Amino acid sequence: MKNNTLYGATWLDTLGAWLLALLWVLPLAYAFWTAFHPPEYATRLALDAPWTLDNFRRAWEAAPFARYFLNTAVLVALILAAQLVLSTMAAYAFARYRFPGSNIAFALVLVQLMITPDLLLVENYKTMGHLGLVDTLTAIGLPYFASAFAIFLLRQTFMGIPKELDEAARVEGASALQILWRVYVPLARPVYTAFALVSVSFHWNNFLWPLIITNSVESRPLTVGLQVFSSVEQGVEWSLITAATLMSVAPLLIGFILFQRQFVQSFMRAGIK
Amino acid sequence: MQAAAARAGNAGAGQRAIHAWLLLLPALTLLVAFTHWPAVATLIDSFYSTPRGSRPGVWVGLENYEVMWDDPVFWHAVRNNLWFAGATIPLSIGLALVMALWVNERLAGRTLVRMAYFTPTVLPMIAVANIWLFFYTPQYGLLEQITGSLGLPSHNWLGDPSTALAAVTLVAVWKEAGFFMIFYLAALQTLNPSLKEAAAIEGASRWYFFRRVQWPLLMPTTLFVLVNAVINAFRLVDHIFILTRGGPDNATTLLLYHLYEVGFKFWDTGYAAAITVVLVAVLASVALVQFFVLDKRVHYR
């Protein structure tokens, strides 16, 4: 009996945990209420309020959401693909090669963990200007293509893979790239999944740099589009804004609900060095 | 014979070094182009005036820093940012720890509770700020309705300089606590369960167990979370764009937001460079403190 209640949750803990949880979902719950009801019910809770999808239709028509969705999806995929390829190569070099300058190179990588590209806005904007890339999806993604975090994470993982596997493959005449592709990448699959989830949710949500580097609908991602959309000062229409907000977070929210466990675990894995 | 083998080995080593550098090249090129070079260029730019039209920037020495020193908005931003950091860091870490301790127990509906805490982390700050904006709206916002039903006077939370910063801070805490919870939860799950049994048999109170066993063992996690929280305190500005735009009367201007305004609204790139140098210096010192001071004090397992 005592063992079961070993500092276990008392009813007070359960109550506290639930109250906090309710408080935490309150903003989202409220957004749901407003988005699915006619505007006149936006500010008052009436149980007999009729349900409607009209707000979503109007929001969809009020801004080029289809374009924003496409931009964000392409952007996120582009960044992830580049990050995976580049950091796999770099991590492999750090984990399995001994070469002069490797420590300096690794230190150069680690610097990015503290000083991320989004702090160097002004200078990176100038660079994009010189490259003629301002207002393109490439410009939003390019500074993030080389991810120090991914390199670090994969290097740790690769170092944990037994060297014997590597040597055995080498004896059979496999080239370095073949070994990387056939041995290391498959064995690191859980880490790739973890990083992919972190990367996708980060870049889906990223705002400041995309805001600065884009100025047309053709390149704007959802976050920037949403901000432009909601700052239109024509009498604040809460039902419209919450509908638009829910639309833009829907893919992430649905993904999160479906893969809740993987999400949490991947963030856990990403956090433990 | 031996010499030949050594020479072959050297040639092999040289070749392997080339391979390694080729593998690193793409990533390092991008890192240098978008992190190291801009960091150095920012430092150089901070000593030059802002180019206007066809007139290039000229060397002005410390003038940009003098402008910064005399800029009341900059000092506003510094004070606000320190306040913001001083509030978000302990609040979000404390809440994260409580949340993690809760959802680590066998709690009714644990999965749902855990999900509720973590959801804000997954959603874009810019999107959830829209929702919070409504909460804070005067007259008919949710907060107004609650305070109104309690008979309290109406209050414009975001419009009043004395409450605006606290209001945006609250949003940041709400957003971050669930994220930090994950790391505490991960750490709690790696703790040996027999510690708990032993403590319970010894008759130690739950608080004692937490203070003398769990908390010390969670130290590395706390350090990791702390560093993240400090960095975020200087980087998190998305919600400012929706909620207050730095107002009212600069009450919610944070350093990065001020940098954005100077750089991209007033196009004063020289001064913006000086502010960037300050921000980078702050974050670099966080890194140094982490590497050289805290790391030695924390006992890693």
Pairwise CA distance, residues A12 & A14, whole Å: 5
Q: Which residues of B touch A248 (CB under 8 A)?
A: 124, 127
Nearest CA in chain B to A207: B238
The reply to whether B262 falls in a domain is yes
Judge whether A201 lies within some domain. Answer: yes
Q: Tell me the C-alpha to C-alpha distance, in Å, between residue B184 and each of A112, A272, B102, B108, B234.
A: 25, 10, 11, 20, 22
What are residue A204's DSSP bridge partners? none
Query: Chain A: residue nearest B277 by CA?
Result: A120
| Structure tokens that stand for A263 in this block | 């999400």
Which residues, including other chains, have CB under 8 Å from residue A93's CB and lie 6 or more apart? Answer: A99, A102, B19, B20, B21, B23, B24
Binning pLDDT at 50, 70 and 90, where does residue A3 land? very low
- Which domain does B81 fall in, by range? 68-297
Question: Are the beta carbons of A105 and B28 separated by less than 8 Å?
Answer: yes
Residue B15's alpha-carbon distances to A102, A114, A163, A175, in angstroms, are 15, 33, 20, 13
A251 occurs within a structural domain: yes
Q: Encode pLDDT of A68-105 as tens digits.
A: 999 999 999 999 999 999 999 999 999 988 888 899 99
Q: What is the number of domains present in chain A? A: 1
**Element (H or E) spanning A155, and its range?**
helix A148-159
Q: Is A120 exposed, middle or buried (0-12, 13-18, 19+ CB in 10 A)?
A: buried
Name the pLDDT band for B287 (thresholds 50, 70, 90): confident
pLDDT at B199: 82
d(CA A28, CA B132): 9
Q: Is the pLDDT of residue B130 over 60?
A: yes
pLDDT, tens only, B18-55: 989 999 999 999 999 999 999 999 999 999 888 887 78
To 5 degrees, how large is the angle CA B253–CA B255–CA B260? 85
Residue A40: inside a domain: yes
Position B97 in a domain: yes
DSSP structure string for A42-103 = TTS--TTPPP-SHHHHHHHHHTTHHHHHHHHHHHHHHHHHHHHHHHHHHHHHHHH---TTHH
Chain A CB contacts of B112 below 8 Å: 21
Portion of chain A with pLDDT greater than 90, in percent: 38
Average pLDDT for chain B: 86
Tell me how far apart the alpha carbons of residues A92 and A156 are, in angstroms, rounded to a whole number: 10
CATH of the domain at A229: 1.10.3720.10
pLDDT of residue A8: 65
Q: What domain count does chain B have?
A: 1
Question: Pick from A82, A217, A67: which is nearest to A136 by CA?
Answer: A217
> Is the pTM here over 0.90, yes or no?
no
Domain that holds residue A42: 36-270
CA distances from A204 to A32, B69, B158 (A): 21, 37, 27
The verdict on a CB contact (< 8 Å) between A207 and B241 is yes
- Nearest neighbour of B134 by CB, restricted to A151, A238, A260: A238
Query: Which residues in chain B touch residue A20, judged by CB atoms under 8 angstroms apart?
Result: 95, 98-99, 102, 117
CA distance A130 to A143: 14
Interface test with B, best of A7, A28, A167, A220 (most B CBs within 10 A): A7
pLDDT tens-digit map of A128-145: 999 999 999 999 999 999
Q: Is residue B270 part of a domain?
A: yes
**Cα B36 from chain centroid?**
20
Nearest C-alpha in B relative to A176: B19
Tell me how close the Cα of A121 comes to any Cα of chain B, in angstroms: 8
Least confident of A47-51, A151-155, B281-285: A47-51
| B29 contacts on A by Cβ (under 8 Å) | 146
Contacts from A130-138 at CB under 8 Å and sequence distance 24+? A134/A213, A134/A215, A135/A213, A135/A214, A135/A215, A135/A216, A135/A218, A135/A219, A136/A219, A137/A71, A137/A74, A137/A75, A137/A78, A137/A219, A138/A78
Count Cβ neighbours within 10 Å for each residue of B237-270 and write b for 16 or more, e otherwise: bbbbbbbbebeeebbbbbbbbbbbbbbbeeebbb
CATH number at residue B104: 1.10.3720.10
pLDDT of residue A1: 36
Say if B53 falls within a structural domain.
no
Chain B: give the shortest CA distance to residue A155, in Å.
12
In a domain, A2, yes or no: no
CB B273 to CB A119 under 8 A? no
ipTM score for this prediction: 0.87
Q: What is the mean pLDDT of chain A?
A: 86
Closest alpha carbon to A184 in A256, A87, A103: A87
The dihedrals phi and psi of A217, each to the nearest 5 degrees, come to -60, -30
Q: What is the pLDDT of residues A181-207, one digit of tens each?
A: 888 999 998 889 888 988 998 999 999
pLDDT value of position B296: 61
User: Does position A260 have pLDDT exceeding 90, yes or no?
Assistant: no
Helix, strand, or coil here: A234?
A: coil
pLDDT at A72: 95
Share of chain B above pLDDT 90, in %: 40
Any idea which residue has 């964000």 for tokens? A72
Instruction: Please report whether residue B102 resides in a domain.
Output: yes
Q: What is the pLDDT of residue A166?
A: 83
Per-residue pLDDT of B39-97, as tens digits, reads 999 999 999 888 887 788 888 888 899 999 999 999 999 999 999 999 999 999 999 99
Q: Is residue B244 part of a domain?
A: yes
Residue A144: inside a domain = yes
User: Are the C-beta atoms of residues B201 and B145 closer than 8 Å to each other?
Assistant: no
The crossing angle, in degrees rounded to 10, of helices A102-114 and A148-159 is 130
Give the gap in angstroms from C-alpha B98 to the nearest C-alpha of chain A: 9
Q: What is the pLDDT of residues B200-258, one digit of tens each?
A: 888 778 888 888 888 988 988 898 899 889 989 999 999 999 888 887 888 999 999 99
**Is A8 part of a structural domain of the chain?**
no
Which residue of A lies nearest to B271 if distances are taken between CA atoms?
A122
Task: Evaluate whether residue B230 is within a structural domain.
Answer: yes
Residue A44 covered by a domain: yes
Q: Examine residue B62 and state whether it is found in any structural domain, yes or no.
A: no
* pLDDT for the residue numbered B240: 93
| Cα torsion through B192, B195, B196, B202, rounded to 10 | 170
From the CA of A71, how many Å to the nearest CA of chain B? 16
Measured in angstroms, the CA of B140 and the nearest CA of chain A are apart by: 6
With a CB cutoff of 8 Å and minimum separation 6, the contacts of B56 are none
Residue A6 · residue B197 · CB < 8 Å: yes
Residue A20 in any domain: the answer is: no
**What pLDDT, on the 0 to 100 scale, is given for residue B131?**
86
